[in-house]
Amino acid sequence: MSRYFEKISFEQFKKDIKNDKELYEEYLLPKRSTKYSAGYDFYAVEDFVIAPGEIKKIPTGYRAKFEEDEVLLLVVRSSMGFKHNVRMTNQVGVIDSDFYSNLKNNGHMFVSLQNHGDKEYVVKKGEAYCQGIFMKYLTVDNEEKIDRERTGWSSLEKSGDNDE
């Protein structure tokens, strides 16, 4: 079984975040904070601030490799909602196993957060702001065979299903 997080390529990092090799080398990969934690904390590559009412798209710097019958769910840390009224704009991010080999963006995952509170939400470099939870999923027994595979966005763009 193979399941892990890794950094996106430096070429993708330069496109999506910054041309800074030192920053690329030093940012942290996701990890669980306790022995029985379900979620892997995602850590900020750089400081960011979300003003009240603002929506911000956060580049994680991560991609994830996992089994075909698994999904990676991205959710906010519970303290963000309770203490700061910050939520993910899509509530739960769903990352499919074939997103890892996305040719368009090197499998780079982003998180979109919205501040529903009345104060700025400040995250410092290296602080956790999101978590990823791996889960098995089931499919129906009588499903028609699906031959289409993700090779980038091209096959999904034709069907209009390109929201990831």
Question: Could you tell me the pTM of the whole model?
Answer: 0.87
Per-residue pLDDT at 154: 41
Cα separation, 73 vs 45, in Å, equals: 20
Per-residue pLDDT at 31: 97
> Is the Cβ–Cβ distance between 113 and 50 less than 8 Å?
yes
Per-residue pLDDT at 146: 83
Give the torsion sign (CA, 99, 104, 108, 109): negative
User: Which amino acid appears at position 125 of this protein?
Assistant: K
Say if residue 159's pLDDT is above 70.
Answer: no
* Strand (E) or helix (H) holding 58: strand 55-59
| pLDDT tens track for 85-95 | 999 999 999 99
Q: What is the set of domains in the chain, with CATH numbers? A: 4-138+145-156 (2.70.40.10)
